[in-house]
Chains A and B, each alone.
With several copies, the nearest count.
Chain A
Amino acid sequence: MTDIKISATALTVQPCIDWALSAKSGGIDIFIGTVRDMTKGKKVVRLEFEAYESMAVSEMKKIANEAMAKWPVHKILIHHRTGVLVPGDIAVIIVVAAAHRDAAFDACRYAIDTLKKTVPIWKKEVFEDGEEWVAARP
């Protein structure tokens, strides 16, 4: 079972965990990615996330399906924010429920690592004295 979402409004963790918990799954691994207040020594004012939504959702579904094929996991949830976020805000939540913990950890880490490589979402870091699209330049 998968739950994939791009959201322009605040992500909340508890409903994601409630969705994943069941008496079948003894191990649940959750990754939360938040906006840090500093990057490379510079103070972050805000981040602006933009997504190619239809493709982002389809790439996130691929990641979830691949993870379910590679590891014995029951449920995978991937929620990602778009819009303007300030330090402390949640940018991404990934939840993986499995019978045993090893599969949950492996699949969760695979999901976030792959998301950062393949899902068409972009973030612009806005500093006090400038701004930059992350990873755009060599």
Chain B
Amino acid sequence: MKVLAFGIVKEIMGGASVAVDANISVAALQASLEQQYPRLKQLSAFMIAVNGEYAGPDVIVKPGDEVAIIPPVSGG
């Protein structure tokens, strides 16, 4: 499945989306992304959104979900 990337994460990953495994927890997804893209560890933090809502570490990411990586926001 694909995850969407924005802002600095898009630059780190070199694109607006990357492919990852589904049926894993948000925490596992974060760990897997950090392994694949070590520069993510330099961020103050990054959250995962599932279907447009911030998702806690235990949420399971399923195929068909819209998953997004949310680096620290800075709107306003």
B17 CB to closest chain A CB (Å) equals 12
Q: How large is the interface on B (under 10, 10 to 19, 20 to 34, 35 or more residues)?
A: 20 to 34
Residues of B within 8 A of A123 (CB): 74-75
Docked-complex contact B76 and A135, CB < 8 angstroms: no
Docked-complex contact B75 and A92, CB < 8 angstroms: yes
Within 8 A of A (CB), among B37-76: 42-44, 49, 52-54, 68, 70-76
B20 within 8 A of A: no
Docked-complex contact B73 and A118, CB < 8 angstroms: yes
A117 within 8 A of B: yes
A133 within 8 A of B: yes
Write out, one digit per residue, whether chain B residues 4-33 have a CB within 8 A of any chain A CB (1) or not (0). 101110110000000000000000000000
Residues of B within 8 A of A52 (CB): 4, 6, 49, 68, 70
A33 to B53, CA, bound (A): 26
Docked-complex contact A50 and B76, CB < 8 angstroms: no
Chain B residues proximal to chain A, CB less than 8 Å = 4, 6-8, 10-11, 42-44, 49, 52-54, 68, 70-76
A123 to B71, CA, bound (A): 11
Beyond A51-B75, A134-B74, 11 additional contacts (C-beta under 8 Å) are A50-B7, A50-B10, A55-B49, A55-B52, A58-B52, A115-B76, A117-B73, A118-B73, A120-B73, A133-B74, A136-B7
Q: How large is the interface on A (under 10, 10 to 19, 20 to 34, 35 or more residues)?
A: 20 to 34
Name the 3 nearest CB pairs between A and B, nearest first.
A121-B75, A122-B7, A134-B74
A61 CB to closest chain B CB (Å) equals 11
A-B contacts, 13 of them at CB < 8 A, read A54-B52, A55-B53, A55-B68, A56-B75, A58-B52, A58-B53, A115-B76, A122-B7, A122-B75, A133-B7, A136-B7, A136-B44, A136-B71
Write out, one digit per residue, whether chain A residues 101-138 have a CB within 8 A of any chain B CB (1) or not (0). 00000000000100111111111100000000111111
